Amino acid sequence: MLIDTAVRAGVERVYGVIGDSLNPIGDAIRRNGKLRWIHVRHEEVGAFAAGAEAQLTGRVTMCAGSAGPGHVHLLNGLYDANRTRAPVFARPLRVRERQR
């Protein structure tokens, strides 16, 4: 549902670090075939990259962060996107109970 909604909103790329809570999102992106996962070395880089793409294209972009510190790492890039009014959708995820 999240991926279909993102595609309908015009998202073409999702920036983030795959693993833990983001594995189901990565699988859904692969199955969907309309979005590209852009792997970055750090969640903060993903948020800044999504903001930069949104500023350059004027289209909504997406970044994702995994549980715990990953959420916090998104903040600087999201602050910058907000400050410049770049349309960025951030999806912080957490590890499911049965995965812990």
Output b/e per residue, 12-42; b: 16+ Cβ within 10 A.
bbbbbbbebbbeebbebbeeeeebebbebee
- The position carrying tokens 């970055």 is 40
Global pTM reads: 0.85
Q: For 42-93, how does the pLDDT look when each residue is reduced to its tens digit (9 = 90+)?
A: 999 999 999 999 999 999 999 998 877 878 889 999 999 999 999 999 987 7
d(CA 28, CA 80): 28
Q: CATH assignment of 2-99, given 3.40.50.620, 3.40.50.800, 3.40.50.970, 3.40.50.300?
A: 3.40.50.970
Q: For 1-33, how does the pLDDT look when each residue is reduced to its tens digit (9 = 90+)?
A: 888 999 999 999 999 988 777 888 888 999 998
In the chain, where are the structural domains located? 2-99
Residue with the larger pLDDT of the pair 98 and 10: 10
